[in-house]
């Protein structure tokens, strides 16, 4: 019920974004600038706030378990992604898109705000560890499959603001570094921008899509069912057998059930992938996630 309420709030924020586009408040240029603000300022602040606000403690072994689990989860997703295009009988040119959409979800724009709302900012410490393999893989494996060829290891790209904020957060938390209250309040204030701005931008992007045509795409609907229901239900069911604490299990549930991330469309546009197909995947899974995420949580009792 809590997740359903939170998803409804996010859905309303998406509607606000649609209204802003219709009223001329948003345009393509503002979309790019606000997206950059969320990715480079608000989301990193949201992650940092979890390390600064040390209301409860997470043991060192929990960090180790989470780090190993994060890499293992992405490893399994890569294995599943290899077979997804074949299951869908996709065109050869679409293989890269379907594989990256299977692996790389909207953990920044939607995952982190939902986790913070459901479990508190302390849960973002767990979530931060998932962002490290996410960024490492999207700039190596992601680019490689998008281009249809082997791609070199891009250290400069991996050391982006998302990963750096995660590393700083973990350092602050593990060393118990004291942070002045003025800085703490400032970080908390900026982090509050993440959820509303990100969902408004997603709403803005929906105005560019022909929804009737999109929901008639049988292949994309099947993919969405696998992505939003089959993978999270099966994945979290297995994770629950590991006997992890409920908060970490909940974080895994959100990470696996979030829709396709907008980074897939950006990669497609930059590296010669099918940008239209990636945009369709982002749009339809974002709309369906308003229903599927609460459903997954209810079925799994997470």
For the stretch 173-220, pLDDT in tens is 778 788 888 998 999 899 888 878 877 887 887 787 777 777 888 999
- Judged against a pLDDT cut of 60, whether residue 127 lies above it is answered with yes
Selected residue with higher pLDDT from 277 and 227:
227
Selected residue with higher pLDDT from 275 and 156:
275
**Opening angle at CA 253, ends 86 and 205, nearest 5:** 70
Of 294, 295, 228, 222, which Cα lies nearest the Cα of 257?
Answer: 228
Phi, psi of 154 (to 5 degrees): -105, 85
pTM of the model: 0.79
Q: What residues contact 155, with CB distance under 8 A and at least 6 apart?
A: none
Q: What is the DSSP string of 205-247?
A: HHTTS-HHHHTT-HHHHHHHHIIIIIHHHHHHHHHHTTT--HH
pLDDT confidence of 81, banded at 50, 70, 90?
very high
- Cα distance between residue 229 and residue 287, in whole Å: 14
Q: What is the mean pLDDT of residues 127-155?
A: 74
Q: What is the mean pLDDT of residues 14-24?
A: 90
Structural domain boundaries of the chain? Answer: 2-300
Selected residue with higher pLDDT from 129 and 234:
234
Q: What is the mean pLDDT of residues 234-247?
A: 90
| Predicted pLDDT at 57 | 58
pLDDT confidence of 149, banded at 50, 70, 90?
low
Of 178, 287, 293, 186, which Cα lies nearest the Cα of 236?
Answer: 293
Sign of torsion over alpha carbons 231, 234, 239, 245:
positive
CATH of the structural domain 2-300, one choice from 3.40.50.970, 1.20.1530.20, 1.20.210.10, 3.30.1370.10: 1.20.1530.20
Q: What is the mean pLDDT of residues 250-275?
A: 83
| Averaged pLDDT score across all residues of the chain | 83
């Amino acid at each position: 019920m809590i997740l359903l309420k939170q998803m409804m709030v996010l859905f309303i924020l998406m509607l606000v974004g649609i209204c802003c586009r219709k009223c001329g408040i948003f345009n393509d240029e503002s979309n790019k600038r606000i997206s950059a603000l969320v990715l480079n300022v608000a989301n990193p602040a949201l992650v940092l706030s979890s390390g600064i606000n040390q209301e409860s403690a997470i043991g060192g072994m929990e960090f180790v378990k989470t780090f190993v689990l994060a890499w293992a989860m992405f490893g399994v997703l890569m294995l599943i992604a290899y077979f997804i295009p074949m299951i869908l009988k996709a065109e050869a040119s679409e293989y890269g898109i379907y594989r990256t959409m299977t692996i790389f979800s909207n953990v920044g724009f939607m995952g982190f705000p939902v986790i913070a709302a459901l479990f508190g900012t302390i849960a973002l410490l767990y979530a931060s560890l998932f962002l490290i393999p996410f960024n490492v893989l999207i700039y190596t494996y992601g680019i490689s499959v998008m281009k249809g060829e082997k791609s070199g290891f891009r250290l400069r790209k991996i050391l982006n603001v998302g990963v750096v904020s995660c590393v700083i957060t973990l350092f602050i938390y593990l060393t118990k570094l004291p942070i002045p209250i003025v800085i703490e309040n400032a970080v908390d204030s900026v982090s509050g921008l993440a959820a509303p701005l990100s969902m408004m931008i997603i709403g803005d992007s929906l105005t560019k899509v022909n929804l009737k045509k999109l929901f008639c795409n049988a292949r994309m609907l099947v993919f969405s069912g696998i992505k939003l229901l089959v993978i999270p239900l099966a994945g979290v069911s297995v994770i629950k057998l590991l006997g992890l604490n409920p908060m970490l299990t909940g974080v895994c549930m959100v990470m696996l059930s979030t829709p396709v991330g907008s980074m897939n469309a950006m990669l497609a546009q930059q590296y010669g992938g099918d940008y239209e197909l990636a945009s369709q995947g982002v749009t339809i899974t974002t709309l369906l996630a308003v229903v599927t995420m609460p459903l997954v949580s209810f079925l799994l009792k997470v």
